Structure 1
Amino acid sequence: MTVYLHGISTALPEFCLDQTEVEQRAGLIFGDKYPQFHRLSRSFRSAGIKTRHSVVPLDWFSESHGWADRNAAFIQGATALFCDAARSALKASGWSAQSVDCVVTVCSTGIATPSLEAQVHKDMGFRDDIMRVPVFGLGCAGGVSGLSLAQSIAAGRAGFRVLLVVVETCSLSFRADRLQKADIIAAVLFGDGAAAACLCDQAPDAGPMVQLGQGYQKLWPDTLQIMGWDIDETGFGVVFDRSIPDFVNAEFAQATTAALAASGLQHSQIDRYICHPGGAKVVAAIETALELEADTLDKERDILREAGNMSAPTVMFVLKSVLEAGRTGQFMACALGPGFTASYLPVHVSAGQGA
């Protein structure tokens, strides 16, 4: 059964952090504690990031925080982002909240039970019989994996309307107490954001026809240490291994070939890859692995520059940007995340009715 994307939206929190100011603040926090900071601080200037957004102001990061206040900030910030992204996607689709049959919520940067879609149920105006599918732990692969899951649910029932909301508040995992290189790199790269999409097996009445195929995942054995969380009394601690670009160069092409074959496609048929921009080095590694011309992934670099790595929703920012640019053809969305896992989703875009 063909599944169509009816609308896609993105949302950013109110606090915009300039990369230069973040570097200065990180210097005040880490400079006297972590001898390697001044060498690593060059990453702030080479990361390809100009601004990021956060659910908390810059001064928050100079204070000590434990589980309770981190998670309180998560629930406040994530629910606001959820509503902003969801309402915008519904408006773009011409749907009402009452018409949604299922909501899939993807998030790996905080804990909420009841989960986020239940927290906002009344404010959003969802029906009381809505199907709720909260998903935790997908990390940076969550945007593509979330779209794949939503596509499978929409394909399973005729006329079933699925709202996907992907929310991450990466900034709240900032740690000044562990003094590990991964925490410096996290301070360089990560920001907060959300994205939402409306999916159904019925084609939209107007606009481009965006068809979502069946997703594909590849998990590599014995790679749990590459990306994820360490969890202790203070909160989440990022695991972000320096080997990721090299791993992409070594493994990504073969995984992509398998994903294409599973979808009945070949590399030559892909008009554009829609990639999660994990960092400047990762974007360059993807271009090398897929034998793309340098700077092919221009939208990925644009999103990284303006909003940083927001984890799961970032690839949906890229997809929205590509669609708004009027690109058509056969795409393949892809992202890497904890597991270590590569997630893929074929996306076909045609001009649609009246074009």
Structure 2
Amino acid sequence: MSRIIHIESLAPKYVYSTDQIIEAADSLWLKNVDEMTRRKAIKIFKGSNIDFRRAVVPLEIAFGDLSFEEKNNIYMKEMIAYGKELLSNAIKNSGIEPTDIDYIITTSCTGIMIPSVDAYLVNELGLRGDIVRLPVTEMGCAGGTSGLIYANDFLKANPGKTAVLLTMEIPSITFQKNDLSAENLVSTAIFSDGFSCAVLKGGEGPGAHIIDTDMYHFHKGTYLMGFNLTNTGLKIVLDKDVPSTIEGNFEKIFLPFLERNKLRIEDIEHYMFHPGGKKIISMVENYIAAYDKDISESKWVLENLGNMSSATILHIFDRVSATRDIRPGDRGYMLAFGPGFMAQSILVEWR
């Protein structure tokens, strides 16, 4: 098996409160729309239950009328800069050396770059020439759990080796200024830039050991979530059926996975759910509270950092590690949803 030995998070340069975002939207964007749409947008922002969001660019750029080329150039530049800082910090704070890394996975769905950011990091940080690279680009919000699952599979086959997973998302530059659809308004309200890195090792030792993983695919769900590639960039696909689809299938994902590991809901000490938005997190919270369990860290991350797509689940893991009294033998359950439509589960045990 493999084990997570360190999580490193990196905050983007700019942080804005909801009130600041509404004020900027009013002056840069909403002033040109009809009053009904303006009120609808403000209501969505205020009703998101998100207090702060972060971005790699100031709001006047995020809300600007940029071409796809301009947006993607920002994406490439910032991915390299933040990726270098993030991985450098993870190497330093986890106690490994750059040459210790055997496998590098990068997840991102908010831009396009070829070669992928991991190729630049190999050169910038002096990683080994025989390192194995895996860029994961189309898993959306489930990219963080996908990366952990792929790292676990590699390390199970290669015990004693080291993997790093970088989850890096810049949704601020996917904003569509002339799209007044509910999808664009909601995505603008809930998504936020974020970067996080997990360091994993194979074999026994201290850390959060990955005990089991699972990917569950919903048939005929491709319409629910994703991006359309347009002349003005990546246009969000976020269907109104997403919350009801998750709620209707939640037990089919959750309970069989625990049962095959001979566990009940009560046996898990630490729950880490990707908070897609207010409706989804409320549904999960109400369900889990019936078993005297809570998802306070997932709620905190959504309220204070927003939905950072694939980077969110590692931020939640980092928050759990920093704020809870975790003891040897404690178990954690991670769940995230992504385009396809799919759900991914991970069971960990701290040792």
- Using the size of structure 2 for normalisation, the TM-score is 0.93
In 1, the alpha carbon distance for the partners of 2:18 and 2:272 equals 25
* Shift in CA distance, 194/37, structure 1 to aligned 2, threshold 3 Å: same
Identity %: 24
Which residue does 2:188 correspond to in 1? 187
Report the equivalent of 1:17.
Answer: 16
TM-aligned CA distance change 1:323 to 1:20, over 3 Å: same
Are residue 272 (structure 1) and residue 273 (structure 2) matched?
A: no
Paired residue for 2:151? Answer: 150
Gaps of 5+ in 1: 351-355
Tell me, in whole angstroms, the C-alpha distance in 2 between the residues paired with 1:106 and 1:62: 25
- 1:132-152 Cα distance to aligned partner (Å, 9 max, x none): 111111101111111111111
Rounded to whole Å, the distance in 1 between the matches of 2:290 and 2:188 is 29
Of 83-92 and 329-338, more deviation after overlay is shown by 83-92
Larger CA deviation: 78-87 vs 108-117: 78-87
Query: Any unmatched runs of 5+ in structure 2?
Result: none
CA 1:295–1:75: 2 relative to 1, 3 Å: farther
2:129 counterpart of 1:131 = no
- Out of 221, 224, 231, which is 1:223 matched to? 221
SS at match of 2:310: coil
Question: Which whole-Å CA distance do the structure 2 matches of 1:218 and 1:317 have between them?
Answer: 23
CA contact (8 A) 2:331 2:348 kept: yes
Give how far 1:130 is off. Answer: 0.8
Q: How does 1:37-186 map to 2 (within 5 A)?
A: 37-186=38-187
Deviation track 1:289-311 (CA, whole Å, cap 9, x = no partner) reads: 44546982111111112211100
What residue in structure 2 maps to residue 241 of structure 1?
Answer: 239
Residue 255 of structure 1: CA displacement? 1.1
* CA gap 1:348/1:42 in 2 versus in 1, 3 angstroms: same
Match of 1:336 in 2: 337
* Residue number among 313, 317, 320 corresponding to 1:319 in the alignment: 317
Contact 2:212-2:348 within 8 A present in 1 as well: no
Q: 192-201 or 16-25: which moved more?
A: 16-25
Query: Deviation digits for residues 152-186 of structure 1, max 9, x if unmatched?
Result: 11111121111111111111101112221111111
Shift of 1:197: 0.9
Give the match's secondary structure for 2:343: strand
Which sits farther off after the overlay, 333-342 or 323-332?
323-332
Q: Is the 8 A contact 2:271 2:294 kept in 1?
A: no
TM-score (norm 1): 0.92
Q: Offset of 1:280 from its aligned partner?
A: 2.1
1:33 corresponds to 2:33: yes
The CA distance in 2 between the partners of 1:155 and 1:175, in whole Å, is 42
Deviation at residue 194 of structure 1 after TM alignment: 1.0
Q: Distance in 2 between matches of 1:49 and 1:222?
A: 31
CA contact (8 A) 2:151 2:163 kept: yes
CA RMSD of aligned residues (A): 1.8
The question of whether the paired residues in 1 share the 8 Å contact of 2:168 and 2:310 is answered with yes
